[in-house]
Amino acid sequence: VKYVVLSFSLLPLILLLCLSAQAVDRSNFKTCDQSAFCKHQRELKPGQSPYRALLDTLELSDSRLTLQLINDNNKVRLLLELYRLQGNMTRVKINELKPLKPRYEVPDVLISDPITEALSVVAQDENSLVLSLGGKDQRLIVSAQPFRLDIVEGPQVLMSLNSRGLLAFEHLRARKDTSISHKISSTVGSMWDSLKSMFSRFTFLLRKGIIKEEEDKPGMWEETFKSHTDSKPNGPSSISLDFSLPGVEHVYGIPEHADTLKLKNTDGSDPYRLYNLDVFQYELHNPMALYGAVPVLISHSTDRTMGIFWLNAAETWVDISSNTAGKTVFGKILDFVQVSNEVPQTDVRWISESGLIDVFIMLGPKPADVFTQYASLTGTQSFPPLSALAYHQCRWNYNDQEDVKTVDQGFDEHDIPYDFIWLDIEHADGKRYFTWDPSNFPQPKEMLQGLMDKRRKLVAIVDPHIRVDSGYKIHNEIRSKNFYVKNKDGGDYEGWCWPGNSGYPDFTNPEMRAWWASQFAYDQYEGSMENQYIWNDMNEPSVFNGPEVTMHKDALHGVWEHRDVHNLYGLYVQKATADGLILRSGGVQRPFVLTRAFFAGSQRYGAVWTGDNAAEWGHLKISIPMCLSLGLVGISFCGADVGGFFKHPSAELLVRWYQVGAYQPFFRAHAHIDTPRREPWLFGPENTALIREAIRQRYALLPYWYQLFYNTHRTGQPVMRPLWVEYPDDVATFSIEDEYLIGKDLLVHPVTDEGATGVTAYLPGKGEVMCFSTLNGFLSLPSLKYFLWVSHIPVFQRGGSIICRKDRVRRSSSCMENDPYTLYVAPSSQGSAEGELYIDDFHTFSFEVAKQFVHRHLSFSANTLSSRNLAPDSQFSTASWIEKIVIFGGSQPSSVTLKNADGTESALEFEFGSTLAVLTLRKPGVNAAADWTVVLR
């Protein structure tokens, strides 16, 4: 693979000189030992599973197999359901056979019921059952005693479930010191008589010693953390299951954590925690929970890529162990020399507080297959308007309308483009969302119109805590409609957040979500206009005086406890908000909504950011693996607060952060209210120039970003991706997290170390690497020492690619919509290259509902460059044209001819830079939607 070294700040290209806070208060948040169910589950020892499959209970239909499992200790039966799903996936569900009351099943995350395929039994004996999973000799083996599932392909075991015997399912039961009627009569209604009979028999069996009920342990029925007591009216209900991955050393995913891309071994430490929390300036390299939770883990080896999707919205802990963890490189070499028989293996154990086991096993085998499989379940990244991919300027808070106007003018005065200015909580009247402060923002429409006149936009924050105030319309309507979350006693749940005493709308209620969406209508949200978009913060939900700064678990969403639905709350808030922005436009305009809390499926509703980071080099560095992890599990639209939310960055750190942010999907500067102002022109003219150049690079590359988001919307492939995704056989890439790919054609190695004068970039792929120096245009090195100074961002274009840019950068992306394109062609060592160009109206759903778009395939081979239509049934015209073509690494032609679709030919002007072997073709002048061919002779 060849790479072209690109610095979009200058042409000619960079000369390669050598070939070339105070941190979180952790006591506010639980450890596993402080979480009763996690502690109890972790006390279970491997290899002592009490569960047995009752093969004589098997029932098989075309799409579903069921059989019962029994816990030989307490005789409680479970129901196992197995599904073979279309696209090389398997679904495993385990629930109580006859629970005292229904257990929570996560709704609204799957985009539809997964399409099933036929299951068939190919063999059976008294202790096992073998099912066919389709092609490539894939089998699912059910072992009866102890219960175990193995997925095999030929002789190879791909994955095993309960191979360590850590399946544990705490069945719902009556508390021993209370009347069973008191515990269940309010929820079971007409089932009372039969349940009373069941309970009598259960009590008889206990007395006879035929079954052994677990002893009550601390925290099973009530749990206290700091000053908060969590009543557990349904008692212990946690679940656990282990998965073994033979041959696997590298696993990824389960965001959100401020940690390495490759997940670490948790033996002897806390597991990774998935529980959406408002964490004030999080620590780095810590498995503690943050703002979002996506229960998807991806394994990768040179043989195969697979995924595990644990569909559960309750508090969840994930333990990871590996038989190669802790071995030094020398130890691994010694194993190889001594021909060790130890096969690498990673074991993953999921523990959730409530709900049931519902797991999707995605069998790949390639990385792209896993992304497609997961997207088929939870959907793809929403396709944002082009402006959302541009630069965003934010702080807590711009003071008033005059401040907004001054900042807006500052960008023009310093010739820095931007698309969005943001307003935090201070813009609202007393932090009453959907309102404007009458003193500081008395004429919001005038402010918005001023931005619209410059083709710019604004984002205002709307948080899901509602000030309890009888003079506040939003509060009164929510209360009158009975839409608030309830406390355990049935009254409206109230907690403390930014406005003071606040109520929390029950976003799990579809009627509440529909009402919330209606409030974004222009006649409801007074002062709003079509160029105003929305930011949902604090939606974990954040409750300042609640346990772990969030909602009490025994709060009620209808019949369900908050403990069942916690990790879904932020997804529902963002969904309702996005629906509102679509609704206000009559279904025409694509929304933009940023959320802090998220779950599996949140990608369908907008963007996320990494939360309350700090102006420190470590936080800059960790933003890369944090966003890479999110991309692997479907959420491509990710970014970190440029400059750091807390503290004050040095000029060097701020410049480097802009350079990193310009090459991450969501590009926003943000700062805490107590930090000094840091608009891009406040650090001296030299640093202003560097920041301007980084932002201009982002704008020039917007056509490439937009095409990538269109593709991820269609396919689910991540926009920002680890190197191993494109080079799955290159073991050296498996742990790399300081460089990454944007799509498959740009490799970025950001500068994240203070005072750095160089980086060593690993260039994956076999064959030639193309880069530019004063000495040699072609190198064949696996890595490259890249010397730089503060103005440089190490960016490499893959040999064999064509990238479309717009080099006329204006004050906003909307001002550039009809501007011409420049094509950058980087041929492979075989002299060929290809790329794509995508164009639509950049802001509506017309691309989807009316097929109004342009999608072109660009190819270069045998000195011929051509553009071909990829969507002949689409209808769209564009005023944009091809202004320039830049071809790297070739030789000087004697002539260049443009052939139009109508057969006419014309000679093109060109110039050739022999030092760097760059051929520039000027003014082809063809429409970007037309067929054309350029021939070099």
| Contact between 352 and 315 (Cβ < 8 Å) | yes
Q: Where in the sequence numbering do the catalytic residues fall?
A: 537, 612
- Nearest Cα residue to 544 out of 222, 223, 228: 228
Which pLDDT score is estimated for 3? 57
**228, pLDDT greater than 70:** yes
According to DSSP, residue 562 is labeled H
Q: pLDDT band for 766, please (50, 70, 90 cuts).
A: confident
Contacts of 751 (CB under 8 A, 6+ apart): 656, 659, 660, 759, 788, 792, 793, 794
Q: pLDDT band for 199, please (50, 70, 90 cuts).
A: very low
Q: pLDDT band for 341, please (50, 70, 90 cuts).
A: low
How does the average pLDDT of the chain come out, rounded? 91
**212, pLDDT greater than 60:** no
Contacts of 253 (CB under 8 A, 6+ apart): 263, 294, 296, 297, 298, 307, 629, 632, 633
Q: Are strands 239-246 and 228-231 parallel, antiparallel or unpaired?
A: unpaired
The answer to whether 39-170+235-378 and 797-936 have equal CATH topology is yes
| Contact between 464 and 505 (Cβ < 8 Å) | yes
Q: Are strands 638-639 and 607-609 parallel, antiparallel or unpaired?
A: parallel
687-708, pLDDT tens digit by residue? 999 999 999 999 999 999 999 9
Lowest mean pLDDT among 194-198, 681-685, 709-713: 194-198
Which pLDDT score is estimated for 456? 98
**330, pLDDT greater than 60:** no
**186, pLDDT greater than 90:** no
Q: pLDDT band for 213, please (50, 70, 90 cuts).
A: low
Question: Which tokens in the block code for residue 672?
Answer: 């805490």
Cα 557 to Cα 575: distance, rounded to the nearest angstrom: 17
80-120, pLDDT tens digit by residue? 999 999 999 999 999 999 999 999 999 999 999 999 999 99
**789, pLDDT greater than 80:** no
**768, pLDDT greater than 80:** no
Which pLDDT score is estimated for 890? 84
Which pLDDT score is estimated for 14? 27
Report the phi/psi class of residue 638: left, alpha or beta, with left for phi > 0 and alpha for psi in -120 to 50: beta
Report the phi/psi class of residue 32: left, alpha or beta, with left for phi > 0 and alpha for psi in -120 to 50: alpha
67-76, pLDDT tens digit by residue? 999 999 999 9
288-320, pLDDT tens digit by residue? 999 999 999 999 999 999 999 999 999 999 999
248-304, pLDDT tens digit by residue? 999 999 999 999 999 999 999 999 999 999 999 999 999 999 999 999 999 999 999
Q: pLDDT band for 333, please (50, 70, 90 cuts).
A: very low
361-415, pLDDT tens digit by residue? 999 999 999 999 999 999 999 999 999 999 999 999 999 999 999 999 999 999 9
Of the chain, the percentage scoring pLDDT greater than 90 comes to 85
Question: Which tokens in the block code for residue 935?
Answer: 């021939």
* Mean pLDDT to the nearest integer, 789-808: 91
Given CA atoms 803, 804, 808, 809 in this order, what sign does their dihedral have? negative
Contacts 24+ apart (CB under 8 A), 132-140: 133/84, 133/90, 134/84, 134/88, 138/363, 140/82, 140/84, 140/90
Burial class of residue 349, CB neighbours in 10 A (0-12, 13-18, 19+): buried
Which pLDDT score is estimated for 183? 39
| Contact between 652 and 643 (Cβ < 8 Å) | no
Lowest mean pLDDT among 247-251, 497-501, 690-694, 765-769: 765-769
User: What is the domain class of 39-170+235-378 according to CATH?
Assistant: mainly beta
610-668, pLDDT tens digit by residue? 999 999 999 999 999 999 999 999 999 999 999 999 999 999 999 999 999 999 999 99
126-171, pLDDT tens digit by residue? 999 999 998 778 999 999 999 999 999 999 999 999 999 999 999 9
Examine residue 323 and say whether the peptide bond preceding it is cis (omega within 30 degrees of 0): no
| Residue 532, CB-side half-sphere exposure with 13 Å CA sphere | 23
Cα 481 to Cα 489: distance, rounded to the nearest angstrom: 19
**198, pLDDT greater than 50:** no
Lowest mean pLDDT among 199-208, 219-228, 465-474: 199-208
**CATH fold of 797-936:** Immunoglobulin-like (2.60.40)
Amino acid present at 224: T
11-32, pLDDT tens digit by residue? 222 222 222 246 789 999 999 9
Q: pLDDT band for 179, please (50, 70, 90 cuts).
A: very low
| Contact between 542 and 465 (Cβ < 8 Å) | yes
919-929, pLDDT tens digit by residue? 999 999 999 99
**50, pLDDT greater than 80:** yes
Tell me phi and psi for residue 619, to 5 degrees: -70, -35
**190, pLDDT greater than 50:** no
Classified as helix, coil or strand, 403 is: helix
Which pLDDT score is estimated for 792? 85
Which pLDDT score is estimated for 131? 96
| Contact between 624 and 737 (Cβ < 8 Å) | yes
Contacts of 276 (CB under 8 A, 6+ apart): 289, 290, 291, 292, 293, 540, 550, 566, 567, 569, 570, 597, 598, 599
Cα 801 to Cα 436: distance, rounded to the nearest angstrom: 49
| Residue ranges covered by each domain of the chain | 39-170+235-378, 797-936
Amino acid present at 739: E
pTM comes to 0.93
Cα 552 to Cα 227: distance, rounded to the nearest angstrom: 12
Which carries the bigger pLDDT value, residue 244 or residue 217? 244
**Range list of β-strands (E), 799-923:** 801-805, 821-826, 833-839, 854-861, 864-869, 882-888, 896-900, 905-907, 909-913, 918-922
Cα 251 to Cα 686: distance, rounded to the nearest angstrom: 43
Amino acid present at 842: F
Which pLDDT score is estimated for 24? 87
